[in-house]
Amino acid sequence: MLDQVRNQQHPLLVHVLALERSLECLISDLEYINNHTVVENVTLNRKYADKVAEYRAWWAGWQNRLSVTQRMGDWLLCQLNNIHEWAPPQRVEQYSTSTKIMQERLEQVIRCCERADVFGQTISGRLSAWQDAAFRKAAQEDNRIMMQLADLTLRDGSTMKLLAFLGTIFLPATFVSSFFSMPLFDWEASSESAITRCTILWIKFRIGRRGKWTCNPFITKRSNLETRQSHFERGSGAK
């Protein structure tokens, strides 16, 4: 039949053959994706999710190509049904046999496009399910890592509480020991009243005009005090 159509040199023959070839390529691509997406014991991770995302992007382009092919088939079928409107009358009778054959082939192409669309929707649903499963698996792994980090943070908090408790106990004792280790008291004095007299370091507290406490430390030695006292006594005796 195809040879008969070719011999009659129908004006839409090339378009119909190109449309059939496009449909064959689409079905071949669909079978390839179907064979590569049916997997068993697959490792669900982010890498596989990215791969499935690439397949879904390809599926969107494939669906557009199939839609164009189907619309082209409808248009060619409409042109064959209305061939008497654009072809000369003598040509219509000449193309009657080839037109009928091409109409049947175009109807078959349109039916194949519809079946391929349904099969493609099935593959798309499978890819969507695999991608969701991979993302959920990755989310579970992230949650497990976050739980481990939360456990480590809790342990760090317990350690900080222990350090704060130890500091609360030892800091007052450290302050007291540091205070009494300063040369403010003369523990070797002959009397109790002389213990508080410091011969090395003097600390004087005073209240300023604005009511603020200030501390003026300065260092003196017993020899300097005795020298000043002797000079004062000599000056008083001379007068």
* Mean pLDDT for back-to-back runs of 10 residues, the chain (239 residues): 58 88 92 75 65 80 91 92 86 84 91 91 83 78 87 82 84 78 65 54 47 47 49 53
In whole angstroms, give the CA distance from residue 8 to residue 26. Answer: 29
Dist. CA 56–CA 62, nearest whole Å: 10
- Residue 114's pLDDT is 92
pLDDT for res 7: 58
Quote the CA–CA distance of 120 and 128 in Å, as a whole number. Answer: 12
User: Top-level CATH class of 2-152?
Assistant: mainly alpha
Q: Measured at the alpha carbon of residue 201, what is the angle toward residues 184 and 203, in degrees to the nearest 5?
A: 80
* Token digits of residue 227: 């020298």
Non-local (6+) Cβ contacts of 48 within 8 A are: 42, 130, 134
CATH 1.20.58, the chain: domain bounds: 2-152
| Amino acid (1-letter code) at residue 39 | V
- Quick one: which of 83, 75, 73 has its CA closest to 107? 73
Question: pTM for the whole thing?
Answer: 0.54
Query: What integer pLDDT is reported at residue 206 of this predicted model?
Result: 46
- For residues 85 and 79, what is the distance between their CA atoms, to the nearest angstrom? 9
